[in-house]
Amino acid sequence: MRVLVLFDLPVLTGDQRREYARFRKFLLKSGFLMLQEFVYCKLALNTTAVNGIVDQIHKNKPEEGLVQLLTVTEKQYAKMDLIVGNVKSEVLNTDERLVIL
């Protein structure tokens, strides 16, 4: 499953810019990857993991602005159609990501 975070935060004042930067840093430290400027994505193994991710986002939400969460399956995510632009993939989809413990 994938959790998509879509947000639109105000950045008119210094406090609002700091809140935006804090939320963005929280997403990056939590393992989210940027798909577009205000769209971030994270892989979750199951619904329990999704619920934990959603709870963490609720705890770290900014005071102003709009934050939306969307959970999709891997099959739905794979059907995403790229219309214009190039795919920037930071995810390794080969055996290179295999970790043997």
At 58, the pLDDT band (50, 70, 90 cuts) reads very high
pLDDT greater at residue 76 or residue 86? 76
Cα atoms in the Cβ-side hemisphere of radius 13 Å centred on 96: 5
| Contacts (Cβ under 8 Å, ≥6 apart) of 80 | none
Alpha helices in 1-97 (DSSP H): 14-29, 47-59, 74-78
Q: Is the pLDDT of residue 93 over 60?
A: no
At 89, the pLDDT band (50, 70, 90 cuts) reads low
48 burial class (0-12, 13-18, 19+ CB within 10 angstroms)?
A: exposed
Quick one: what percent of the chain has pLDDT higher than 90? 71
DSSP reduced 3-state for 64: coil
> pTM (2 decimals)?
0.77
